[in-house]
Amino acid sequence: MVAEICASVAAQGDVALRELGRRFDGWAPAPGEGFEVPQSVVAEAPSRLGADDVAALVFAADRIRQFHQQQLPAWTAGTPTLKLETRPVRRAGIYAPGGRAAYPSTVLMTAIPARVAGVSEVVLATPPRKDGTVPPAILAAAQIAGVDAVYRIGGAQAIAALAYGTESIPRADVVAGPGNLYVTLAKHEVFGSVGIDGIAGPTEVLVVADASARPDFVAADLAAQLEHDPLAMAVLITDSATLADRVDEELQSLIGGLERAEIIRAATCCLVVVDSMNEALQLANAFAPEHLLIVSEDARALAEQVENAGAVFIGPYATVPLGDYTAGPNHTLPTSGSARFASPLGVHTFLKRTSVLDLDRGDLVLLREATVRLAGLEGLNAHAHAVEVRLE
């Protein structure tokens, strides 16, 4: 189904987007109307929120920007004749999911790193409501983050539109931002036509805690992650059976009073008791969690043993929601064990590198013999000739 959606957008452009918008989003633009939210509506969005809400978005944006500015690389590495040049992509397409909730934090976490990287054009796709409007919080975040255009399109069709381009939506060089299963499958489908930030699975948290941890704190951390999605996973690994029992009691008590109790109960939660905290860290590294919380008397020392995690939170006060919104590091993280090789979304997501070889005849003479010999080992005689002909 996702492959068919992507193929139809690639072949039919806006015609397909209108049909798919009516089918999946419950809205499509009227004749003469486009998918883009008018700039005037985006500009006035902050005024439609409370002053405290706008202040919170600005506060988060400033901290996210400050953290990501520290990621800027040296633009040139090497020597004048052999160097690696780093440049931003020209256009970034970011996606902010809708459905169960609006996520202005995702707009900040994707658009701001792109802007810090120097991307010249940043466009946002997000699902519209049934009347074709976009939540003011999303538009306000877009305004604060410096998004150039907001398009009312969601799901796999939005990813396809950003990847291939249509009559009204420009083709992006990189697509970034989380989404549901259809969004994730669409990223997999279009990869190669466009760069992507990664293939994300359901969200997850792993808490490593000893007997000194407060059970109510740990239960709160587990519940906070589980309320995202029925497919979410939360795991506690501890060397204290007493703590595991207490956390279970606290979690059951807490869930009953939460608005998203049904989602939390449908998600996966595991409490694991091990012999030692070192064993707990070994399991954590094998699991390679998206979020890893370490709550113990020697939390900082244990954190030095972490090899695989999207983000590490150290101590009883470093709860994941701080990282989700305001601490500064990115909340778009590798999931499903991919922290073994993948990284959080960041400035690097929107950068590309180019090798530059500025060689003269002296370099050709120096490199000739080994180059010709290696070409011969591989049976590529035309390679050897391209070198030899320059010295005949």
**Tokens encoding 233:** 């996973």
328's torsion region: left (phi>0), alpha (psi -120 to 50) or beta? left
Q: Are residues 137 and 255 in the same domain?
A: no
Say what the pLDDT of residue 98 is.
Answer: 81
Q: pLDDT for 376-388, tens place per residue? A: 999 999 999 999 9
382 within some domain = yes
Q: Which of 196, 224, 239 is the C-terminal boundary of a domain?
A: 196
Q: Which amino acid is at 315?
A: G
Say what the pLDDT of residue 323 is.
Answer: 97
Q: pLDDT for 12-34, tens place per residue? A: 999 999 999 999 989 999 888 89
Q: Are residues 183 and 47 in the same domain?
A: yes
349 within some domain = no
Q: Are residues 177 and 278 in the same domain?
A: no
pLDDT at 110 over 80: yes
88 within some domain = yes
Say what the pLDDT of residue 344 is.
Answer: 97
| 291 labelled catalytic | yes
**Tokens encoding 317:** 């006060």
Q: Are residues 132 and 165 in the same domain?
A: yes
pTM: 0.93
265 within some domain = yes
Which of the residues 204, 290, 331, 348 is marked catalytic? 290
Q: Are residues 178 and 121 in the same domain?
A: yes
Q: Are residues 208 and 260 in the same domain?
A: yes
pLDDT at 73 over 80: yes
pLDDT at 99 over 70: no
346 within some domain = no
State how far the Cα of 225 lies from the Cα of 227, in Å rounded to an integer: 6
Extract the runs of DSSP E, i.e. beta strands, from the chain: 76-78, 82-88, 91-95, 121-126, 149-152, 174-176, 195-196, 204-209, 233-238, 268-273, 291-295, 311-314, 351-357
350 within some domain = no
312 within some domain = yes
Q: Closest by alpha carbon to 166, among 174, 155, 156, 158?
A: 158
Q: Are residues 330 and 376 in the same domain?
A: no
Q: Are residues 383 and 297 in the same domain?
A: no
Q: Are residues 190 and 255 in the same domain?
A: no
Q: Are residues 261 and 155 in the same domain?
A: no
State how far the Cα of 204 lies from the Cα of 369, in Å rounded to an integer: 54
Q: Are residues 250 and 280 in the same domain?
A: yes
Q: pLDDT for 325-357, tens place per residue? A: 999 999 999 999 999 999 999 999 999 999 999
Q: pLDDT for 147-183, tens place per residue? A: 999 999 999 999 999 999 999 999 999 999 999 889 9
CATH number at residue 145: 3.40.50.1980
Q: Are residues 311 and 189 in the same domain?
A: no
Helix 104-117 vs helix 136-145: angle between axes, to the nearest 10 degrees?
20
347 within some domain = no
* Average pLDDT value over all residues in the chain: 96
Answer yes or no: are the C-beta atoms of 390 and 383 closer than 8 Å.
no
Confidence of residue 100 (pLDDT cuts 50, 70, 90): low
**Count of domains forming the chain:** 3
| 385 labelled catalytic | no
Domain limits at 100? 2-196
Which of the residues 68, 291, 331, 348 is marked catalytic? 291
Q: Which of 196, 231, 263 is the C-terminal boundary of a domain?
A: 196
Q: Which of 148, 171, 196 is the C-terminal boundary of a domain?
A: 196
Percentage of residues in the chain having pLDDT higher than 90: 95
